[in-house]
Amino acid sequence: MKKRITFIAAALATVAFSLMLASSAETAAAPSAIDLGTLGGSSSVALAVSPSGQVVGYSRIAVNAPFHAFSWTRVGGMVDLGTLGGSYSEATAVSPSGQVVGWSEIGGGVHAFSWTPEGGMIDLGTLGGPNSFAFAVSPSGQVVGNSLTSGLLFHAFSWTAGGGMVDLGTLGGRESDAVAVNPSGQGVGFSDLPGFFVVHAFSWTSKGGMADLGTLGGSISYPSAVSPGGQVVGWSATSSGAGHAFSWTSAGGMIDLGSLGGFSQAKAVSPSGQVVGYSETGSGPVHAFSWTRTGGMVDLGTLGGSYSSAAAVSPSGEVVGDTTIAANANRAFCWNRGTGMVALDTLGGSFSSASAVNPSRLAVGSSTTASGELHATVWQCPN
């Protein structure tokens, strides 16, 4: 497979990254944005980061050219992961060991892939149809996503190196999708049930199969994430028709996390059970929230504008996402109980947004440059 390293961007990023880490403990001011560069085109986006700081996403390989999946490290810079033979690919997740998953065009279809530095990009196949997509990977290398079957229906799948791609089935309806997996192999997703527009969140294990997580009283529930301990979060319709964030555990079932005044959705959960997401407030605008069992739902506020949304949370409680500032320009943010919400710098433009954070408080996302290009970006959140 052809690999490409943007040497200049990698070198500059490595130097800047080292300087940033050395000074991050000395200040809680807006952390500097580190430009990860591109694969030769005008744009790149970072979607996930591993505990060691490996960043994955996608980038244009030339001006007006297709996107390719990339992996970035401080030592190697940005590496083109190639494709399965088609013109484009996208990386969506990375494991602690450096296994990258996503999807790539291949001969008239799109297939899920797994990539490692040792083995390169391998095709995970499909469930009989032309397309499959990988969304998450566990520390042991289990991949989950969805695939078209021979009957051209999407079904959730689990893939392992030893067992290949397994159809997880449905909750009695026609289609399903898996969106996340934890270290113990518990996959979560959603499936339709018999009836008109009835969709429920599910939890799946190799021993127990697919279990219906139910709803908060309505006919719809969707999960977003699952913790190492098996706590599932997402959103569900209530009996009144509203949509509220939920948390589900095998012991306690599905509980309503409430809202800040209107619709709410949970996006991520930490190992300790801290849930983050966004909610409409009583006055209408959407704000990021953090929820804990002891403290309930807390409005994280904004940085002067009307909007904020939380995308991810670290094991130590660092929350990242994006918010508007007074001029309604969009900024990535880090939030913790000590510093509150801190704006993250841009690369010279007016936009930045954070999508993930690792245990070392390394946040990743994207930002515009002074020339208006969108580049993958890294920040070190302050203590």
Q: Rounded to whole angstroms, what are the CA distances from 117 to 14, 81, 122, 133, 248?
A: 20, 9, 11, 21, 36
Neighbours of 231 (CB within 10 A): 21
pLDDT at 108 over 90: no
Average pLDDT over residues 13-39: 56
What pLDDT was estimated at residue 29? 52
189 phi, psi to nearest 5 deg: -175, -155
What pLDDT was estimated at residue 100? 98
Angle at 122 between CA 120 and CA 126, to 5 degrees: 165
Listed range (22-31, 79-88, 197-206, 301-310) with the worst mean pLDDT = 22-31
How big is the chain by its Cα radius of gyration, in Å? Answer: 20
Verdict on whether the full-model pTM lies above 0.85: yes
Average pLDDT over residues 105-133: 97
CA 197 from chain centre, in angstroms, equals 26
What pLDDT was estimated at residue 5? 28
What pLDDT was estimated at residue 21? 35
pLDDT at 24 over 70: no
Confidence of residue 12 (pLDDT cuts 50, 70, 90): very low
Closest CA to 304 of 341, 250, 279: 341
Cβ neighbors of 238 (< 8 A, separation 6 or more) are 216, 217, 218, 244, 256
Write out pLDDT tens, residues 50-78: 999 999 999 999 988 999 999 999 999 99
pLDDT at 15 over 80: no
Write out pLDDT tens, residues 137-183: 999 999 999 999 999 999 999 999 999 999 999 999 999 999 999 99
Neighbours of 20 (CB within 10 A): 17
Element (H, E) at 80: strand 77-80
In the predicted model, what is the mean pLDDT of the chain?
Answer: 92
What the block records as the tokens of 32 is 């500097």
